[in-house]
Amino acid sequence: MRSGAINASLIVAGSAGLALGVRLAAAPLVSVGVPQRVGNPEQVVQPSPNAHPDSLVAVLVARDPFRVTRRPSNVVYDPLRLAQPATPPPPKPLLALVGIVWDNGRDPTALVEGLPGVDGPRPVRQGETIAGLRVKAIKPDRVVITGLDTTWTLTVREPWK
């Protein structure tokens, strides 16, 4: 189709739509009427003249609209307490693997240094929990320890390398 034919068809369609709109506005298909008034004008509710603005504020404050329970908070707001820094969590231990006693894999034991509350290296076995740290796995070349939201993969120290 050429652009002239497209323009002509758009003009015809627009004119037909405009004519239909004018016809429906002048004589609608369904009669539209305003419903009759049900009550007398004297029955209209007037606001009570004795309401004081101060009492409305007291009601609003007593029932806090921003809380689900509609009651004031039990915790008193204290901006000075919010300005104090939170106590830092205790530092995570610096664990080091001193050695592994493999024993053909039947019952491996690892010597771990830096466990909280323990001085020096301590022998641990798989599944053991010490001070919140759990020994997950002991492999020939590494030990996996989890706890305190951290997972450590420890390898044997090799000072000669």
Q: What is the pLDDT of residues 94-113, one digit of tens each?
A: 999 999 998 887 889 999 99
Distances (CA, A) of 98 to 53, 80, 111, 119, 155: 77, 48, 5, 13, 9
Distance CA(161)–CA(157), nearest Å, equals: 9
Whether 139 is covered by a domain: the verdict is yes
Q: What is the mean pLDDT of the chain?
A: 81
Ranking 6-20, 68-82, 83-97, 105-119 by mean pLDDT, the lowest is 68-82
Q: Which of 138, 153, 143, 136 is nearest to 107 (CA)?
A: 138
Whether 121 is covered by a domain: the verdict is yes
pLDDT, tens digit (0-9, with 9 covering 90-100), for 18-76: 999 888 888 777 777 777 776 665 555 555 566 666 667 777 667 667 777 767 777 77
Whether 24 is covered by a domain: the verdict is no
Distance CA(146)–CA(89), nearest Å, equals: 17
pTM of the model: 0.46
Whether 150 is covered by a domain: the verdict is yes
| 70 contacts: CB under 8 Å, gap ≥ 6 | 63, 64
What pLDDT shows up at residue 143?
94
Whether 52 is covered by a domain: the verdict is no
What pLDDT shows up at residue 19?
92
CATH code for position 151: 2.30.30
Q: Which of 54, 152, 52 is nearest to 94 (CA)?
A: 152
- The DSSP H or E segment spanning 58 is helix 53-62
Whether 144 is covered by a domain: the verdict is yes
Domain total of the chain:
1
Whether 3 is covered by a domain: the verdict is no
Q: Above 60 in pLDDT, residue 148?
A: yes
Whether 103 is covered by a domain: the verdict is yes
Q: Which domain holds residue 144?
A: 96-155
